[in-house]
């Protein structure tokens, strides 16, 4: 097995995760089996307890692990299916070390960062190597070189390289090469210094990936090669992609990134045939039609909070030969101005997952607008709970209907706490998480879109549809069209008498890939496209 370690230089938010994922795409196209993982130096055990404002989206895996959103890139760009092994945080490392210390496993030793913490980190790499065998393991180290909390990880990787032999390891440093306007040139000094930091701790990157806004010309590459002690051809550029992140593998291949990596690791592989990937990108960036879809949420100003949803809409757009223009609308603005002001002219309305009371009434108004105006509606997790509350209030006449999450004393708790959640007090990793089966009702829209009777989807919620209201909803026109296998948990609701009104308790956005768009997103975008055509007719 060969190991690639991807570090970041100069600033965060460089697109390191994207570079790692794109490299995964390229290596898979060279016929290699690839696994990706992320090390996050923060002390949270996982990002599940962090606010989206801190961290962006929490990406949920099949086994229920709540992970960094870069794992979303890894799954979308490769054929990997990742597990909780693939995201390691300092919090997990220390939790395990302290548990072992209390258990007496260290036999009287003084417990220290070196070797105990570093052993723990190396142990995880070995575990992934054993349990997820592959040709290449790509590990991205979160944060920026020079961060205090990143040091134990880098030290562990230095030791690891010694143990498995440097011919089996390559460090790739993804770094910012800033353009200074006044000088009219790209500057290499920050990168020189961040590579110097790595070399201080005994790590010599073999490849430098320059994130830059302008082409990195030969003289700049030459300088970087000299000062960072890497061969000239191993300094490559990674410019901002023009239209779509899915161009990244193509751009990096133009720089022979995959070729350099294979050479650095002594891997003999054929040149990749990227025609299928190129065709997918082509469909994404040059569609014939377009449609406008509103995403009504709470963390709208944040690029990353609904990352997988935006990506899934893009995939589904390409599948429908259409560009999805995403209008990001803050639910609180709907509360202020009314739904019509923000949603008139939209071809589809999507309400994503979320927690807490803020913006809830705005989302309910948006769902009502979609239902009453016949605009396609797609609710995800909280978006299903919102649709249910709205229907209860305005169709069934239960004016005070609510979720007990927002109003614990509501007379009509149409969304209530999951039975298994009643005694849960810890906030971390304690929701209903991960993949669960859903059985689909015959004749339902959900069944028609999926084209099968049973599906597995990923979950992350504490509250659920209250079955006591099921019959009443059915009579009024809201159908439960998907349930857990034992029939007790409602997983999907839909309004048959509507162009497209479908809401799910799970998160389909975690299973859409550019080459396998999710069936429900596809159906929703198709319905939105039709809605736009109807509107214009």
DSSP single-letter state for residue 117: I
- Residues 109-133 as b/e (b if ≥16 CB within 10 A, e otherwise) read eeeeeeebbbebbbebbeebeeebe
What strands lie across the sheet with 490-494, from one edge to the other? 322-330, 289-297, 348-351, 377-380, 501-504, 490-494, 479-483, 432-440, 454-461
> How many chain residues are in contact with ligand GLN, going by CB under 6 A?
10
For the CB of residue 389, give the shortest distance to ligand GLN in the complex, in Å. Answer: 12
Stretch of 151-159, 160-168, 347-355, 475-483 contacting ligand GLN, by CB under 6 A: 347-355
509 is catalytic: yes
- Return the number of the residue (277 or 306) whose C-beta is nearest ligand GLN: 306
For the CB of residue 192, give the shortest distance to ligand GLN in the complex, in Å. Answer: 44
Residue 405 binds ligand GLN (CB under 6 A): yes
Q: Residue 267 to residues 6, 28, 79, 168, 475: CA-CA distances in angstroms? A: 18, 13, 20, 10, 64
43 within 8 A of 90, measured Cβ to Cβ: yes
For the CB of residue 458, give the shortest distance to ligand GLN in the complex, in Å. Answer: 10
| Distance, CA of 288 to CA of 284 (rounded, Å) | 10
Sites for ligand GLN among residues 17-56 (CB under 6 A) = none
Stretch of 292-300, 301-309, 460-468, 481-489 contacting ligand GLN, by CB under 6 A: 460-468
Stretch of 123-131, 143-151, 182-190, 459-467 contacting ligand GLN, by CB under 6 A: 459-467
Bridging pattern class, strands 169-176 and 2-9: parallel
228 is catalytic: no
Stretch of 4-12, 38-46, 194-202, 349-357 contacting ligand GLN, by CB under 6 A: 349-357
Who's near 263: CB < 8 A, 6+ residues apart? none
Q: Is residue 46 helix, strand or coil?
A: coil
- Return the number of the residue (119 or 361) whose C-beta is nearest ligand GLN: 361
| Distance, CA of 295 to CA of 313 (rounded, Å) | 10
258 within 8 A of 30, measured Cβ to Cβ: yes
Q: Which of 381, 416, 457, 518 is catalytic?
A: 381
CA-nearest of 14, 529, 95 to 317 is: 529
Three state DSSP letters for 412-476: CEEEEECHHHCCCCCCCCCCEEEEEEEEECCCCHHHHHHCCCEEEEEEEECEEECHHHHHHHHHH
Sites for ligand GLN among residues 53-82 (CB under 6 A) = none
Sites for ligand GLN among residues 112-141 (CB under 6 A) = none
- Return the number of the residue (41 or 383) whose C-beta is nearest ligand GLN: 383
For the CB of residue 395, give the shortest distance to ligand GLN in the complex, in Å. Answer: 22
Site map (CB under 6 A) of ligand GLN, residues 194-213, x = contact: --------------------
Residue 461 binds ligand GLN (CB under 6 A): yes
Residue 432's φ and ψ, nearest 5 degrees, are -75, 110
For the CB of residue 380, give the shortest distance to ligand GLN in the complex, in Å. Answer: 7
Residue 382 binds ligand GLN (CB under 6 A): yes
Does residue 115 have a cis bond before it (omega within 30 degrees)? Answer: yes
For the CB of residue 486, give the shortest distance to ligand GLN in the complex, in Å. Answer: 19
Answer for which of 74, 238, 377, 463 binds ligand GLN (CB under 6 A) is 463
- Return the number of the residue (353 or 434) whose C-beta is nearest ligand GLN: 353
Q: Residue 127 to residues 82, 132, 202: CA-CA distances in angstroms? A: 13, 8, 24
For the CB of residue 462, give the shortest distance to ligand GLN in the complex, in Å. Answer: 4
154 within 8 A of 57, measured Cβ to Cβ: no
For the CB of residue 484, give the shortest distance to ligand GLN in the complex, in Å. Answer: 15
Who's near 367: CB < 8 A, 6+ residues apart? 349, 351, 377, 379, 383, 386, 387, 390
438 within 8 A of 465, measured Cβ to Cβ: no
Residue 462 binds ligand GLN (CB under 6 A): yes
Q: Which of 73, 342, 498, 507 is catalytic?
A: 507
Residue 460 binds ligand GLN (CB under 6 A): yes
507 is catalytic: yes
Site map (CB under 6 A) of ligand GLN, residues 351-370, x = contact: --xxx---------------
Residue with the CB atom nearest ligand GLN in the bound state: 353
Residues annotated as catalytic are: 381, 507, 509
Chain residues that interact with ligand GLN, rule: CB under 6 A: 353-355, 381-382, 405, 460-463
């Amino acid at each position: 097995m060969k190991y690639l370690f991807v570090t970041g230089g100069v600033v965060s938010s460089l697109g390191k995760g994207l570079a790692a994922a794109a490299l995964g795409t390229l290596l898979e196209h060279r016929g290699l089996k690839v696994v990706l993982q992320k090390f996050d130096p923060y002390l949270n055990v996982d990002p599940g307890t962090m606010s989206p404002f801190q961290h962006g989206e929490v990406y949920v895996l099949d086994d229920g692990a709540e992970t960094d959103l870069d794992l979303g890139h890894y799954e979308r760009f490769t054929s990997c299916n990742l597990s909780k092994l693939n995201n390691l945080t300092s919090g997990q490392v220390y939790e395990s070390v302290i548990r072992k210390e209390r258990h007496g496993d260290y036999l009287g030793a003084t417990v220290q960062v070196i070797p105990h913490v570093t052993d723990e980190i190396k142990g995880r790499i070995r575990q992934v190597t054993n349990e997820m065998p592959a040709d290449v393991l790509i590990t991205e180290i979160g944060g920026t070189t020079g961060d205090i909390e990143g040091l134990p990880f880098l030290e562990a990787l230095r030791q690891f390289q010694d143990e498995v032999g440097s011919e089996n390891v390559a460090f790739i440093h993804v770094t910012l090469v800033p353009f200074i306007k006044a000088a009219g040139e790209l500057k290499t000094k920050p990168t020189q210094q961040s590579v110097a930091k790595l070399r201080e701790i005994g790590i010599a990157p073999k490849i430098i990936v320059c994130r830059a806004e302008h082409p990195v010309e030969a003289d700049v590459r030459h300088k970087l090669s000299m000062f960072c002690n890497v061969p000239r051809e191993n300094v490559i550029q990674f410019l901002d992609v023009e239209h779509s992140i899915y161009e990244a593998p193509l751009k990096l291949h133009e720089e022979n990134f995959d070729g350099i990596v294979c050479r650095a690791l002594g891997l003999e592989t054929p040149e990749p045939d990227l025609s299928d990937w190129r065709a997918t990108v082509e469909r994404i960036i040059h569609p014939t039609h377009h449609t406008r879809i509103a995403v009504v949420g709470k963390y709208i100003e944040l690029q990353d909070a609904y990352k997988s949803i935006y990506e899934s809409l893009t995939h589904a757009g390409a599948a429908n030969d259409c560009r999805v223009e995403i209008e990001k609308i803050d639910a609180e603005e709907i509360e202020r101005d009314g739904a019509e002001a923000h949603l008139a002219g939209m071809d589809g309305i999507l309400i994503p997952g979320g927690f807490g009371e803020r913006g809830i009434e705005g989302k309910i108004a948006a769902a009502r607008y979609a239902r009453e105006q016949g605009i396609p509606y797609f609710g995800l997790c909280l978006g299903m709970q919102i649709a249910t509350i709205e229907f209860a209030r305005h169709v069934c006449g239960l004016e005070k209907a609510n979720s007990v999450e927002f109003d614990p004393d509501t007379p009509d708790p149409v969304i209530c706490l999951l039975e298994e959640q009643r005694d849960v007090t810890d906030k971390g990793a304690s929701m209903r998480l991960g993949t669960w089966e859903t059985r689909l009702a015959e004749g339902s829209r959900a069944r028609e879109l999926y084209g099968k009777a049973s599906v597995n989807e990923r979950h992350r919620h504490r509250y659920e549809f209250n079955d006591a209201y099921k019959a009443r909803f059915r009579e009024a026109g809201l159908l439960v069209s998907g349930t857990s296998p034992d029939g007790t948990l409602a997983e999907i609701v839909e309004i048959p008498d509507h162009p497209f009104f479908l809401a799910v308790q799970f998160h389909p956005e975690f299973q859409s890939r550019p080459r396998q768009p999710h069936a429900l997103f596809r159906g929703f975008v198709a319905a939105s496209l039709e809605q736009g055509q109807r509107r214009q007719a």
